[in-house]
Amino acid sequence: MTAPLRLCVRRGPEKEAASPTIRVALTLPSDIDVIEETVELLALHAFAGRIPAQRTRFRFRVTLAEALANAIQCGNGGDPDQPVHVELHLTEETIRVQVTDRGTGFDTDHTTDPTDPDTLEYPCGRGLFIIRHLTDHVEFNDQGNTIWMTLPRS
Amino acid sequence: MTAPLRLCVRRGPEKEAASPTIRVALTLPSDIDVIEETVELLALHAFAGRIPAQRTRFRFRVTLAEALANAIQCGNGGDPDQPVHVELHLTEETIRVQVTDRGTGFDTDHTTDPTDPDTLEYPCGRGLFIIRHLTDHVEFNDQGNTIWMTLPRS
Amino acid sequence: MALSVATSGSGITIVRVEGQLIVGNRQELKALVTESLDRGGRKFLIDCTDTGYIDSSGLGALVTIAKKVREHGGEIRLAGLNEDLRSLFTLTKLDSLFEIGETVEQTLADF
Amino acid sequence: MALSVATSGSGITIVRVEGQLIVGNRQELKALVTESLDRGGRKFLIDCTDTGYIDSSGLGALVTIAKKVREHGGEIRLAGLNEDLRSLFTLTKLDSLFEIGETVEQTLADF
Ligand SMILES: Nc1ncnc2c1ncn2[C@@H]1O[C@H](COP(=O)(O)OP(=O)(O)O)[C@@H](O)[C@H]1O
Ligand SMILES: Nc1ncnc2c1ncn2[C@@H]1O[C@H](COP(=O)(O)OP(=O)(O)O)[C@@H](O)[C@H]1O
C-alpha cells in the first residue's frame, strides 16, 4: 500500500447551535446539612462541559448556599418535611437560579446594610447583601418565597 | 516556630447522601440536525461528575439519538415548529430518559425483528430494536408519543 | 461528522467517517460513495477508526451503500470499529452483510 | 468540612478550616475556639488555606468568635485566604474587624 491520496474532505451540516435553555431541577428537604452537597451537585450541572473562571464558580456556590440557607431556615422554619425547590435555567451565557420555599415570604424591598458600623459586629444579616453583590441580578416573587438570581456561566 | 502539635481533627456532620433525583429538561425543534448536539449536551448532564464505562456512554448516546430521531421524524413528521421535549431523571444509579413528541403515537406493542433474513437488507426498522437491546428498560405512554428508557449511570 | 476520501495505491477507495454517522448526515456518505462508483471505484473501505456512534439510519445507509456497490460488481469492507460499534453490527446481524476487518492497514492488505 | 487544631511553639492556636465554613458546621468552629479559650489559649490563627467558601453564617460565626476572644483579652488573625475569600471580607467590611495576614507562616511570624 502506498500513501493514500486525499481527495476531498466534507463536513456534515453544522447547525448554528440553537443553544436551548436547559432546566435542571431538584427538591431537597429543609435540612441545613444537605446544603453543601446540593451546591456541589448543582455546580456540576451549572458548569457541565465548561471550565468557568474560579471567581464564577465561587460566586455560584456562595450565593446558592445563601439562598438555600434562607429558604430552609427563614422560609420553611427548618421543618425537614417542608421541601425546597431549586431550578437552574442554563443558557449559553447565563445561569438563572430559582429557589422556592413553602414559607409566607417577607418584605423583599426592605434592605439593610450590614456594613453599617452600628451593626458590623452582628452575627446575622449578611445573606441577602452578599447575594445582591455576588450575582448579576436578583428578583423575588411578590410573596417573597421565591428568589431568582442571575449569574454568568463562564 | 517549632513544628505544630496536632491536637484534634473534627469533621462536620456528613449526612448520608439523600441522593435526590435531579431532573434535566430540554425542548428542541423537530430538526434532525440538532440531534447530535442535543445528545452531547445531555450526555454532559447525564454523567456530570462521573466517569462512566465507555459502553454506558455509548448506549446512552445511541438510544437517545434513536428516540430523538423517531420523535422528530415519525412523531412530529419533521415539522420544525413542533417541539420535542426531553427529560432526564438522574438518580444515583440510573438515568431515566423521557422523550415526548406532539404526534398521535403508534402501536407500541407491535414489534418487528430487523434481523429476520427476509428484511435484513431493509434500510429502516432497526431503531426500536436497538433501543430495546441497549437500554435496561423501555416503556411508552398509552398514546405512544412518549418513550421512557432506563439506562445505567456508571 | 466529517468524511474524507482517499485512494490507496491498489485502487481501494477509503472513506473515513469521523464523528457520528446518524440520520442528520448519512446522505453525505451515500452521495460520496455513489460518486466514487460513477468514477469507476469498485473496492470500498469504510474507516470507522474515528467514528463515535452510528444510529439505525446510519446502519441503514451502510446497508443501502453495500447493496449498490455489489450491484456494480464491487465490494465493501468496514475497518477500525471499536467494541461498541462492532456490537451494533452483531446485534442487528449486519455483520453477516458486511465484511468487517480489524485495523485499516490489515483490512487493506487483505482486500 | 474538617477542622484541625495545632499549637505553635510560640503558643498560638492554629485552627485549620478545610472545606466550606457554612451554616451547617459553623457551630463546630465556635465550640472548638471556646474550648481553647477555656484551656487558656489567647492567640488564634484561622488557617483558610484549604477553605472552599464561607457563607454569611460562617462570617457571622467568625465575628462572634472574634468578639469572644477579645473579651478574654486575646487576639485572632486569619491567614491563607485566596482572592475570592478575601473579597467576602472586603465586601462585608469585616476586614476592619479581623487582622488578615498573607500566608500562615508569615502571619505566625508577625503575631
Ligand atoms: N426565604 C425567606 N423566607 C422568609 N424570610 C426570609 C427569606 N429570606 C430572607 N428572609 C428574611 O430576610 C432577613 C435577612 O436575610 P439575610 O440577609 O439572609 O440575613 P440573615 O438570614 O442572616 O438574617 C432574614 O432574617 C429573614 O427575616
Ligand atoms: N415517536 C413515534 N411516533 C410515531 N411513530 C413512531 C414513533 N417512534 C416509532 N414509530 C413507528 O415505529 C416504526 C418503527 O420505528 P423504528 O424501529 O425506529 O424504525 P424506523 O424509524 O427506521 O422505521 C416507525 O416506522 C414508526 O412507524
Kindly tell me if the per-residue pLDDT of B139 is higher than 60: yes
Q: Does B20 touch chain A (CB under 8 A)?
A: yes
Angle between helices B127-134 and C56-71 (to 10 degrees): 130
Average pLDDT over residues A51-67: 98
Kindly tell me if the per-residue pLDDT of C9 is higher than 60: yes
Question: Relative to the CA of B130, which ligand 2 atom is closest?
Answer: 17
* Least confident span in B16-30, C52-66, C88-102, D73-87: B16-30
What is the rounded average pLDDT for all residues in chain C? 96
CA distance A71 to A64: 10
Determine, for residues A69 and D57 on separate chains, whether the beta-carbon distance falls below 8 Å: yes
CA distance B148 to D94: 53
Q: Which residues contact D11 (CB under 8 A, 6 or more apart)?
A: D41, D42, D43
Per-residue pLDDT band at A10 (split at 50, 70, 90): low
Residue B19: predicted pLDDT: 78
Span from the CA of B128 to the centroid of ligand 2 (angstroms): 7
Q: Which of A80, A49, A65 is nearest to A151 (CA)?
A: A65
Residue with the three cell numbers 446558592: A64
Q: pLDDT digits over B86-129, tens only?
A: 999 999 999 999 999 999 999 999 999 999 999 999 999 999 99
**3-state SS assignment for residue B47:** coil
Kindly tell me if the per-residue pLDDT of D55 is higher than 80: yes
From the number of C-beta atoms within 10 Å of its C-beta (0-12, 13-18, 19+), residue B29 rates as middle
Instruction: Give the start-to-end residue ranges of the domains of chain A.
Output: 20-152
Per-residue pLDDT band at B2 (split at 50, 70, 90): very low
Strand residues in chain B grouped as ranges (E): 5-11, 22-29, 83-90, 94-100, 137-140, 146-152
From the CB coordinates, do chains C and D have 3 or more pairs under 8 Å? no
Chain B residue numbers with beta carbons less than 8 Å from the beta carbon of A17 are: 37
Average pLDDT over residues A61-88: 98
A130 lines ligand 1 (CB under 6 A): no
Chain C residues with CB under 8 Å of a chain A CB are 1-10, 14, 19, 24-25, 28, 32, 105, 108-109
Chain B residue with Cα closest to C83: B55
Average pLDDT over residues C1-14: 93
Superfamily of domain B20-152: Histidine kinase-like ATPase, C-terminal domain (3.30.565.10)
Using an 8 Å Cβ cutoff, are D93 and A113 in contact? Answer: no
Please, where are the H alpha helices in chain A? 35-46, 54-70, 127-134
Average pLDDT over residues A145-151: 98
Instruction: Give the start-to-end residue ranges of the domains of chain C.
Output: 2-110
Kindly tell me if the per-residue pLDDT of A6 is higher than 70: no
Using an 8 Å Cβ cutoff, are D4 and B6 in contact? Answer: yes
Q: pLDDT digits over B6-22, tens only?
A: 444 555 444 555 578 99
| Cβ density class C40-55: b for 16+ within 10 Å, e for less | ebebbbbbbeebbbbb
Share of chain A above pLDDT 90, in %: 87
Degrees (nearest 5) of the Cα angle D98, D33, A116? 30
Per-residue pLDDT band at B1 (split at 50, 70, 90): very low
C-alpha cell at B61: 448516546
Residue A18: predicted pLDDT: 59
Q: Which of A79, D83, D28, A8 is nearest to C35 (CA)?
A: A8
CA distance A55 to A95: 14
Side-chain half-sphere exposure of B102, counting CA atoms within 13 A: 13
What kind of architecture, by CATH, is found in domain D2-110? 2-Layer Sandwich (3.30)
Per-residue pLDDT band at B3 (split at 50, 70, 90): very low
B75 lines ligand 2 (CB under 6 A): yes
Q: Which of B6, B10, B14 is the best mutation test for D, with the most CBs of D within 10 A?
A: B10
Per-residue pLDDT band at C3 (split at 50, 70, 90): very high
More confident position, A68 or D111: A68
Residue A5: predicted pLDDT: 44
More confident position, B9 or A109: A109
Distance from CA of B79 to the nearest CA of C (A): 15
A74 lines ligand 1 (CB under 6 A): yes
Using an 8 Å Cβ cutoff, are B127 and B65 in contact? Answer: no
Torsion angle defined by CA atoms of residues C48, C49, C52 and C55, in that order, rounded to the nearest 10 degrees = 20
Ligand closest to Cα of A113 equals: 1
Q: Which of C49, C57, C68, C65 is nearest to C92 (CA)?
A: C57
Q: pLDDT digits over D63-102, tens only?
A: 999 999 999 999 999 999 999 999 999 999 999 999 999 9
Strand order in the sheet with A146-152: A137-140, A146-152, A94-100, A83-90, A22-29, B22-29, B83-90, B94-100, B146-152, B137-140
Residue D26: predicted pLDDT: 92
C-alpha cell at A67: 439562598
DSSP of A102-113 = SS----TT----
Q: Which of C54, C60, C66, C44 is nearest to C19 (CA)?
A: C54
Question: Which partners does chain A have (≥3 C-beta pairs < 8 Å)?
Answer: B, C, D
CA end-to-end span of chain C, whole Å? 26
Q: pLDDT digits over D27-42, tens only?
A: 999 999 999 999 999 9
Degrees (nearest 5) of the Cα angle A58, A47, C23? 175
Q: Which of B14, B35, B45, B91 is the best mutation test for A, with the most CBs of A within 10 A?
A: B45
Chain D residue numbers with beta carbons less than 8 Å from the beta carbon of B17 are: none
CA distance B6 to A136: 43
Determine, for residues D56 and A33 on separate chains, whether the beta-carbon distance falls below 8 Å: no
Q: pLDDT digits over B61-91, tens only?
A: 999 999 999 999 999 999 999 999 999 999 9
Kindly tell me if the per-residue pLDDT of A19 is higher than 90: no
CA distance D82 to D90: 12
